[in-house]
Every structure is written in C-alpha cells, then in structure tokens.
C-alpha cells in the first residue's frame, strides 16, 4: 500500500507544490525544466512562422512590388483585399481548386474505403500487398508530377497506349495534360493514384477498431451483411472517415508541387489551382503586397474551415 | 459439429475462403496496376535515348546504362574525326558516350544536389527531433499553462499553404542573406518538422508509464537523469519513427526548395525535372535520378510499416 502511495506523493510534492527552495541541490525545478524544454520550439516557430506571418499581414496593406522595390513603401489600406475579392479570375481559380479538392476527396474516399474493406478480409499475404499499395503516397509529389508527364506523353507515353488498347482510340489523338477537357481530370487522377492509399490506411484503422462482438451480436439477430454494413461498419468507422476527409481536404487545398510539375496550371489556366496563382503573383509578377493579402485570405479560409470541421468531428466522436 | 461452428465463425469475424479469394484478387489487381507507373520509370532508366522516346512505347529493349552515365556527367558533342584522334577510351562509360559522338566534359551537378538533400534532410531532422523530444516530454509530463493552446498553435503552423509561407520567408532570408543556404533551408524545414515531431513524440511518451520515472526520482535521480536513463531508452522506437518521418518530409519537399534555392543549396526535387539532354528532357537520365531518389523512401516505408498510420495523421490515429 505504502509502496503505491509513496512515489505519487513524492512526485506531487516535488512537481507541483514545492517552490524552488526545496529542490535546490537536485538541479533545475520541474517548472524550470518545463520552460527550458518548450521554449526553443516556441522560439523557433515564432521566428520562422509567426514573425513572418505578422510581417506579411503588414505587407498586405502595402503596394510593395519586388520588381520595383525602389519605389517607397506605400500603404494602401484594404485595397489589395478589395482587389482580390472583386477579381473574377480569382473566383474562377477558387472554383477550380474547389472542384479539384471535392473530386479528389470523393474518389480517394471511395477507392480508399473500398480497398480497406477488401484488405480487412485478411486474405493471405495481405500485408505484403498493402505495403506495395502504400508506396505512391510516400514519394515526393514533385517527382511524381514530373514522371507522370512522361507517362502521359501522347505518342511515347504508355498511358495513352494502354487506353488505346482498351478503347481503340488512337494514342496520339488525345493529350491528357494538353487538353482543356482532360487536364482537370488528369490532376485528379494522379492525386488519387497517390493518396487513395492514405485514405485506405486510415479507414483500415477505423475498421479494425470495431470490436468483433458487435458483429457477432448482429449475426445472432440475423442482420444481413448489407444491414451490418450500414448500421455497424459505416457509423463506427465514421470518425476515421471524417479525419481522412479533413486531412486530404487541407492538403489538397494547399496543393502546389504535383500540379505545378504536371501541368503548371495549363493548358491556359484550366488547372491553375489557387496556390499556383499565388506563386505567380508573388514570385513571377513580384506583387508582394497583393500576394500577401491573398495568402492571408487563404490561410483564414483553411483555418476557419478546419476549425468548424473539427468541431463537427468531435460531435460525431462523442455520439 | 466443429465444421459447422467453424463456418459460423468464418461468416462473423473471419471471411469465408471464397470471399477472401475475391478480396485478395481485387486488391492484388489494384496493387499491380498502381505499381506499374513506378516500374515503368525504373525500367526507362535502362533505356537508350531513342528507346525511351520510341513509338509505340517499347516494353522489350536492349538495356543500357546510358541513362545513369548521362545523369552523372556533362557531355559535349564532337565530330567523329575529333573522337578518332583522341587516345582510346579507358573506361566503360567513356566508350558508351563515344558511341554517340560525345565526349565526357565533366561531372554533372547531381552529386552536389544529392549532398544538399542529405545535409538539409539530416540537419533539419536532427534539430526537429531534438527540439521535439524536449517539448514533447515537457507537454507530456508537466502541467504547462495553456498547454492545449500551445499544442494547437504548433499544429496550426502546418495548415498554411507552403507558397504563402514562402513569401515572407523569402523577404526575411533576403535581408539575412539566408536565401539559397544550408542554414536557411535547415531552419525552415526544422520549423515545419518540429510540429510533427512534437505531436508524434508526445503520443509516444504518453504511452510510457510515469511510474518508471517516478521510481527513478524516488531513487534519487534528478529529472534530467530520469529523462536520459529511463524515458529516452523507452522512447527509442518512437524517436526513430519520428526521425524517419521528418527525413522523408525534407527529402520530398519541393515548394520551399524551388522558391528559396536556386543553386548552392538546391535539393533533388527541384533539380530532377530539369535534367536536360539535347532536345528536351533526357528521360532515361530523369528516370535514373528518380529511381535513385525513390529507393531510400521505399526502404523507409517498409521499415516504418507499423508506425505509418501515426505518422501520416500527426498521431491522431494510433493502432
């Protein structure tokens, strides 16, 4: 009995209630250690994330253009924000981005959840094949975008050739990355290839978290497997599915690397996601003030949407 | 009797053999189709320039190491007379290049770029894991005021689009002369990775029973000794897994690298797409670079299998 109480009591005495005096001679106090350990991380984030962010907020009220940085810094108030919100092109980019996010999330959820249901059957050698399936998501998105341009080459690439084997359409008659009608689907296709395994992994964890006895009880009640899926599997895996949606949606809203290399926003601007617009404004046109304002609008959007979503997720979890 | 019991058991927890076979076949088909693009790249690395751009795409061809030779060298085209006048080629790669009326002029930039990737990757991983372990220990073991808010703040730095973060970082680094330097990239990647490291490691350290340390404290260890001799050895697996995740992020990162480096500190991802031969991308060389770049990731994926889920969800899902 004492053996159990003793260490707890001693830790309480050392940890929370006694001031420095009692601990002198045994090195730093716990509070000292806590701050010493947390401070470097917070300091680094303040220097590399927060300070630049605040600087960017300030710049977003200026007309700074780095290609004309000899001009004096001029404050323009909310002009940049007004410009952005009334810019019709930008709304089109946001629509393109929304379409990309929604199509990829839907496809990745369907394929990922489907694969998870299959893998959960625990057939022989399933863990080997799972690892194979997981490989694409571990690769560098930029490198992926780059090598898919080879696969999609109309004549020399294998993709069109395989399509023509199945459909009879001549392989050189269409270009996955060069056609207005196809390019938006091309980026969706490559993103799904890369990230469906990610959704699969999260869904698999969800399926494995459902205890067997629930299915056993359903079996006793003679519930059909269709019924079991809708009233046990899906609701119990739902928090996991929602988490997958959250992570994928945030990531794809930020999407830059893979699409930049695969289509670089083209043809025209059919695949120009908002991150690519931002890169062009900031690092090609050098409109720093304008692009700072755009960056802040994007950040507030992601942050706000993620917060609302996490609240919904917590409600589902508690149910 | 037993047979009947077995069948029922199958239909509840374990799938019947037939269902398993079908599930297995579908998953294997998916895995094979999904892995084909990667195999195509690995194979293209062994094609000659003309085989790589042949129409229709070649599946059977004479393998050659030209792609790898082109990746590591810079060559100049010479007249056959000039080459005939040279002393005979001494190495296999000289011979290979001379067949195409070319002479090796020197090494390409791939080795320095690879070294940049290694230095920046390992440097930022080391720092992020060091800072992350300390902070995670403090968050896990001590009562820190506003701990939840701080943890959320640490995570929220990950929600900003990289292009948006790059705008103020670019301006700041220009002032501090950190653009295109190892230090600048290491600091930036550390700041990005530390959020992942804190979240993952807090999960791992939370799982180590407090009683071990408390016993050590009672035995007269100081907090720091208890951390070093009791907690860290228990957390080794978690720290290793976290380190690999940080390394993979830095290894694969493209947006910051392409916007903030141009030469001296450029890593592999922005370099690979710009491996140019005569008349456009040198596909066998690009494929060779991609293969070499991807191999470590494949090995890490196999090593990390057990912790993959935790890593990709910031520790939100644990198995």
Section B140-154 average pLDDT:
85
Q: Which residues are CB-neighbours of A147 under 8 A, at least 6 positions away? A: B37, B41, B286, B287, B290
The closest of A186, A195, A226, A14 to A110, measured between CA atoms, is: A195
pLDDT score at A27: 65
The reply to whether B262 touches chain A by the CB within 8 Å rule is no
Q: Is B57 contained in some domain?
A: no
The closest of B181, B317, B303, B159 to B243, measured between CA atoms, is: B303
pLDDT score at B14: 64
> In this complex, how many residue pairs, one in chain A and one in chain B, have their CB atoms less than 8 Å apart?
292
The reply to whether B65 touches chain A by the CB within 8 Å rule is no
Q: Is B295 contained in some domain?
A: no
- Asked if A56's CB is within 8 angstroms of B138's CB, the reply is no
Note the pTM of the prediction, 2 decimals: 0.87
Residue A255 predicted with pLDDT over 50: yes
Domain range summary for chain A, segments of one domain joined by +: 79-318
* Domain end point (choices B44, B60, B75): B44
What domain range includes position B265? 111-274
Q: Which of B43, B55, B167, B218 to mutate to test the interface with A (most CBs of A within 10 A)?
A: B167
Q: Are residues B39 and B161 in the same domain?
A: no
Q: Which residues are CB-neighbours of B78 under 8 A, at least 6 positions away? A: B101, B102, B103
pLDDT score at B319: 61
The reply to whether B45 touches chain A by the CB within 8 Å rule is no
Section A3-20 average pLDDT:
37
Q: Is B307 contained in some domain?
A: no
* DSSP helix/strand/coil, B77: strand
pLDDT score at B117: 94
- Tens of pLDDT, residues A76-106: 888 899 989 998 889 999 999 999 999 999 9
Q: Are residues B6 and B150 in the same domain?
A: no
- Which CATH number belongs to the domain containing residue B224 in this structure? 1.10.3720.10
Q: Is B177 contained in some domain?
A: yes
Q: Which residues are CB-neighbours of A224 under 8 A, at least 6 positions away? A: none
* Chain B: residue whose CA lies nearest to A45: B191
Q: Which of B168, B219, B276 to mutate to test the interface with A (most CBs of A within 10 A)?
A: B168
- Tens of pLDDT, residues A125-164: 888 899 899 999 999 999 999 999 999 988 888 999 899 8
Give the pLDDT band (50/70/90) at residue B262. Answer: confident
* Residue B39 with chain A: CB contacts under 8 Å: none
Residue B4 predicted with pLDDT over 90: no
- Asked if B190's CB is within 8 angstroms of A132's CB, the reply is no
pLDDT score at B82: 85
Cα Rg, chain A, nearest whole Å: 27
Residue B161: which of A30, A202, A278 has the nearest Cβ?
A278
Structure tokens at B242: 């976290």
Please report the residues numbered 67 through 96 in chain B whose beta carbons come closer than 8 angstroms to any beta carbon of chain A.
none
Place of tokens 């929370």: A16
Section A29-36 average pLDDT:
86
Place of tokens 């900031």: A282
Give the pLDDT band (50/70/90) at residue B182. Answer: very high
Q: Is B154 contained in some domain?
A: yes
* DSSP helix/strand/coil, B66: helix
Q: Which letter, b or e, does each residue of B42-66 get, where b requires 16 or more Cβ atoms within 10 Å of its Cβ? A: ebbbbbbbebbbeeebbeebeebbb
Smallest CA–CA separation between A178 and chain B, in Å?
A: 17
* Residue A275 with chain B: CB contacts under 8 Å: 161-163
- Tens of pLDDT, residues B85-99: 888 888 888 888 888
Phi first, then psi: give them for residue B243, nearest 5 degrees.
-60, -40
Which CATH number applies to A79-318: 1.10.1040.10, 1.10.3720.10, 3.40.50.2300, 3.40.640.10? Answer: 1.10.3720.10
Q: Which residues are CB-neighbours of A114 under 8 A, at least 6 positions away? A: none
- Asked if A156's CB is within 8 angstroms of B159's CB, the reply is no
Residue B199 predicted with pLDDT over 60: yes
Smallest CA–CA separation between A88 and chain B, in Å?
A: 21
Structure tokens at A195: 């990230």
Residue B131 predicted with pLDDT over 90: yes
pLDDT score at B138: 93
- Mean pLDDT, chain B, whole residue set: 87
Q: Are residues B226 and B135 in the same domain?
A: yes
ipTM over 0.90: no
Q: Is B67 contained in some domain?
A: no
The reply to whether B155 touches chain A by the CB within 8 Å rule is no
CA distance A12 to A34: 15
Q: Which letter, b or e, does each residue of A109-140 get, where b requires 16 or more Cβ atoms within 10 Å of its Cβ? A: bebbbbbbbbbbbebeebeebbbbbbbbbbbb
Q: Are B252 and B269 in contact (CB under 8 A)?
A: yes
Number of domains in chain B: 2
Give the pLDDT band (50/70/90) at residue A26. Answer: low
């Amino acid at each position: 009995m004492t053996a159990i109480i003793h260490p707890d009591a001693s830790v309480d005495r050392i940890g929370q209630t006694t001031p420095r005096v009692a601990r002198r001679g045994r090195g730093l106090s716990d509070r000292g250690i806590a701050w010493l350990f947390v401070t470097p991380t917070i300091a680094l984030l303040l220097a590399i994330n927060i300070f630049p962010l605040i600087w960017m907020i300030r710049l977003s009220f200026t007309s700074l253009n780095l290609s004309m940085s000899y001009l004096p810094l001029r404050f323009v108030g909310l002009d940049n924000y007004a410009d952005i919100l009334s810019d019709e092109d930008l709304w089109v980019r946001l629509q393109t981005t929304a379409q990309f996010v929604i199509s990829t999330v839907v496809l990745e959820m369907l394929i990922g959840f489907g694969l998870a249901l299959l893998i959960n059957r625990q057939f022989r050698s399933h863990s080997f094949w799972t690892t194979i399936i997981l490989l694409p998501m571990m690769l560098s998105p930029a490198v992926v975008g780059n090598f898919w341009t080879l696969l999609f080459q109309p004549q020399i690439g294998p993709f069109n050739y395989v399509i023509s084997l199945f459909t009879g359409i001549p392989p050189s008659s269409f270009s996955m990355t060069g056609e207005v009608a196809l390019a938006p689907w091309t980026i969706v296709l490559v993103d799904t290839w890369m990230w469906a395994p990610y959704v699969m992994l999260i869904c698999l964890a969800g399926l494995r978290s459902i205890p067997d006895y629930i299915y056993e009880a359903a079996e006793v009640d003679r519930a059909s497997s269709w019924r079991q899926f809708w009233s046990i599997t899906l609701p119990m895996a739902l928090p996991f599915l929602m988490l997958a949606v959250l992570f994928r949606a945030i990531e794809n809203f930020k999407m830059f690397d893979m699409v930049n290399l695969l289509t670089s926003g083209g043809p025209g601007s059919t695949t120009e996601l908002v991150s690519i617009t931002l890169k062009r404004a900031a690092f090609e046109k050098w409109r720093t003030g304008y692009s700072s304002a755009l960056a802040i609008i994007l950040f507030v959007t992601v942050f706000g949407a993620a917060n609302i979503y996490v609240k919904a997720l917590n409600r589902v979890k508690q149910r | 009797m037993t047979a009947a019991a077995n069948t029922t058991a199958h239909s509840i927890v374990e799938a019947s053999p037939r269902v398993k076979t079908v599930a297995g076949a579908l998953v294997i088909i998916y895995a094979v189709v999904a892995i084909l693009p990667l195999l195509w790249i690995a194979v293209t690395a062994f094609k000659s320039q003309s085989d790589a751009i042949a129409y229709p795409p070649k599946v059977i061809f004479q393998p050659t190491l030209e792609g790898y030779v082109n990746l590591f060298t810079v060559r100049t085209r010479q007249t056959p007379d000039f080459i005939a006048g040279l002393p005979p080629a001494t190495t296999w790669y000289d011979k290979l290049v001379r067949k195409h009326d070319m002479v090796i002029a020197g090494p390409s930039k791939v080795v320095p770029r690879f070294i940049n990737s290694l230095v920046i990757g390992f440097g930022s991983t080391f720092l992020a894991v060091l800072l992350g372990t300390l902070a995670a220990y403090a968050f896990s073991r001590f009562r820190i005021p506003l701990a939840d808010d701080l943890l959320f703040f640490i995570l929220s730095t990950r929600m900003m689009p990289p292009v948006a973060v790059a705008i103020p970082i670019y301006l700041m680094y220009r002032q501090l002369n950190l653009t295109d330097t190892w230090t600048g990239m290491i600091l930036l990647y550390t700041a990005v990775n530390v959020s992942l490291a804190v979240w993952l490691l807090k999960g791992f350290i939370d799982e180590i029973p407090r009683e071990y340390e408390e016993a050590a404290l009672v035995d007269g260890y100081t907090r720091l000794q208890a951390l070093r001799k009791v907690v860290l050895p228990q957390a080794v697996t978690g720290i290793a897994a976290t380190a690999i995740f940080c390394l993979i992020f830095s290894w694969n990162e493209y947006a910051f690298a392409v916007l903030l480096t141009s030469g001296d500190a450029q890593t592999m991802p922005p370099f690979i797409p710009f491996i140019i031969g005569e008349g456009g991308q040198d596909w066998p060389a690009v494929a060779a670079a991609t293969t070499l770049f991807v191999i470590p990731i494949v090995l890490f994926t196999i090593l990390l299998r057990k912790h993959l889920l935790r890593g990709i969800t910031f520790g939100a899902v644990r198995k």
